[in-house]
A = this chain, B = another copy of it.
Amino acid sequence: MSQAQWMDEAFALAEEAAADGEIPIGAVVVDRDGRIIGRGRNRRESGDPLGHAEIYAIREAAVAIGDWRLEGTTMCVTLEPCAMCAGALVNARVDRLVFAAFDPKAGFCGSLGNLVQDPRLNHRLEVETGFEEERSRVLLQSFFRKLRVRDKTERWQSG
C-alpha cells in the first residue's frame, strides 16, 4: 500500500467519526511492510477523555505487534496531533509521522510546539506534513458548519 492509500484509510475513519457526531479525525499505524496494523478515529463523546484517533491506532498496533515499542512504524493522521498524542507517539517509539492539516489551536507537532522532535527526549520522529491538507480542512469545516446550523435550529425550535 502507498502513503496515499494509508491516508485514504485515515480519511475513511474520519468520515466514520463525523457520521457518529464526533469531530472527523482518523489515524492509522503502518508497519515496515506498509500494512495497516492499527486504526483509530475520534470517539471522545463516547465518554473517553483520551478518545483521540491516534490513541486507538497506537493501542491497536501494540496489540498487533505484541510489544509497546512500535519501532519501524509510521502514523498517518488527518490532523496534527495534540500534546497528549504527540507524547504518546514518542513514548510508543513510532518512527515516522505524516499528518494532513496543521492544528494551530492545539497541535504540538509544529504549531504550538514540537514534542515529536524534542532533542531532550529519548526518541524523535521523522515528520512529513501538508499531504492532503485541503481535504482535511474541508472535512473539519463542513462538520463544524453543520453543527452550528443544527445548534441554531435547535435554539430556534426551543424558543
Contacts and interface: CB of A to CB of B under 8 A. Distances in A.
Interface of A: 44-45, 47-52, 55, 58-59, 62-63, 66-70, 82-88, 90-93, 105-106, 108, 112-113, 115, 118, 120-122
A34 B67 CA distance: 37
Given A83-B90, A83-B115, A86-B87, 12 more contacts: A47-B62, A49-B62, A49-B68, A49-B70, A49-B92, A49-B93, A50-B50, A50-B58, A50-B92, A84-B87, A84-B90, A112-B121
Which of A51, A91, A108, A113 is packed against the most chain B CB atoms within 10 Å? Answer: A91
- 10 interchain residue pairs of minimum CB distance: A84-B87, A83-B87, A49-B92, A49-B68, A84-B88, A83-B115, A49-B62, A84-B91, A47-B68, A87-B87
Nearest to A69: B49
A113 B85 CA distance: 16
Contacts of A106: 121-122
Given A48-B68, A51-B68, A62-B49, A86 B83 contact: yes
B49 A88 contact: yes
A contacts with B: majority SS:
loop
Given A47-B66, A55-B50, A112-B118, A91 B82 contact: yes
Which of A67, A82, A115, A120 is packed against the most chain B CB atoms within 10 Å? Answer: A115
21 contacts: A47-B62, A47-B66, A48-B62, A49-B58, A49-B62, A49-B68, A49-B70, A49-B91, A50-B50, A50-B58, A82-B91, A83-B84, A84-B84, A84-B85, A84-B86, A84-B87, A84-B88, A85-B87, A86-B87, A87-B108, A106-B121
